[in-house]
Copies of this chain bind each other. A is one copy, B any other.
Amino acid sequence: MIKVGVLGATGAVGQRFVQLLAHHPWFELSVLTASERSAGKKYRDVVNWRLDVPFPDDFGDIIVSPTTVPAVKKLDLVFSALPAEIATKVEDDISRAGVAVCSNARSHRMSPDVPLVIPEVNPEHLALIDVQKDSGRDGFIVTNPNCSTIMLCMALAPLRVFPFQDVRVATMQAISGAGFEGVPAMAICDNVIPYIGMEEEKMEMESKKIMGTLSGGMVKEASFEVSASCHRVPVIDGHLLAVWVDIDVPLQEVRKAFLSFHAPFSGLPLQPQKSVELMEQPDRPQSRLDRNRGGGMTVTIGRLRKGLRFVALGHNTIRGAAGASVLNAELIRSKKYI
């Protein structure tokens, strides 16, 4: 068993990490960190568990640690659900101390030697780990993209067989994406907010790195351009995207591309049966009904029609955050990086 911990275990993404790791066949969760205020107390006493799955009682008695290097240095790997302003330094320190870091924070995503990975899309980017090692780091950092970027790149991955240059995407994003306290009810009830800070920029930048090509220890950005319009809607979980891609081949070809897409690996515990699933019903996928497909790890495509237009949906705190990071860790393990 790989010894793992969760940095920032009390927040929305932190709780998802604990849920997903509670009975993991490869990873043994033994360290949970939080702010100084919570350190030294039992996890059950400081976490305000707000997921609609039951609290994993076995972990309730773990004494919460501060988010420091000593607290985690005996672990093999930590998952980071830290806010970016804290993550930047701590993740760097921890990785230098010889621990692998799988981070959901944005701090290191765009660093040239840090892989920004979606296992089904660019597993080969993990080779950047060697670049980090070569630079004298004992451990390493691997990041997963921003939640809505993940859904977009998963949806674009099957389409790489066609040439395309322009991607337009309008997102309808869930409130959980902003954390438990992020969106006041007064702000979103009976409302759409057509703005999420830096979200469009993240989608536009990160997708070019993820779908770029690795060569000579560097990622060459993909050449397509993404133009995003991001909106918050009154949905608890699940980001739904309306996507336009300038692909000019018969719809049947595109359908085939989606149907024949498979993950380039198998046997990872969190891997869903279908990473990308095409639904043929005219009114699917829908946020509430389909976000939990594949345990929240499947990205569902629907309404494929000429344009080329389609919609894509994924669970933002599972496939789009904690689950993304855990799947990355599983890939790392299967590739023997740890």
Q: Specify which of A170, A195, A236, A302 lies most central, judged by the most chain B CB atoms within 10 Å of its CB.
A: A170
Question: Closest CB of chain B to A55's CB: distance in Å?
Answer: 10
9-residue interface stretch from A215-223, A249-257, A285-293: A285-293
User: What is the 8 Å Cβ interface bit string for chain A, positions 271-291, against chain B (1 contact, 0 not)?
Assistant: 000000000001111111101
Q: Which residue of B lies closest to A179 (CB)?
A: B186
Q: Does A193 contact B (CB under 8 A)?
A: yes
Residues on the B chain within 8 Å of A242, using CB: 170, 194, 229, 231
Q: Does A309 contact B (CB under 8 A)?
A: yes
**Contact A185 B175, beta carbon cutoff 8 Å:** yes
**Contact B244 A240, beta carbon cutoff 8 Å:** no
**Contact A240 B194, beta carbon cutoff 8 Å:** yes
**Contact B189 A236, beta carbon cutoff 8 Å:** yes
Residues on the B chain within 8 Å of A194, using CB: 240, 242, 283-286, 302-303, 311
Q: Does A338 contact B (CB under 8 A)?
A: no
9-residue interface stretch from A46-54, A136-144, A261-269, A322-330: A46-54
**Contact A307 B227, beta carbon cutoff 8 Å:** yes
Question: Known: A52-B288, A194-B286. Is A180-B172 also a contact (CB below 8 A)?
Answer: no
**Contact A288 B190, beta carbon cutoff 8 Å:** yes
**Contact A186 B186, beta carbon cutoff 8 Å:** no
Q: Does A6 contact B (CB under 8 A)?
A: no
Q: Which residue of B lies closest to A172 (CB)?
A: B192
Would you give 24 A-B contacts (Cβ < 8 Å), ordered by A?
A: A50-B187, A52-B288, A54-B292, A170-B170, A175-B185, A179-B186, A180-B184, A180-B186, A180-B187, A182-B184, A183-B185, A190-B288, A191-B288, A192-B233, A193-B286, A194-B283, A194-B303, A227-B307, A229-B242, A229-B303, A229-B311, A231-B240, A231-B242, A233-B233
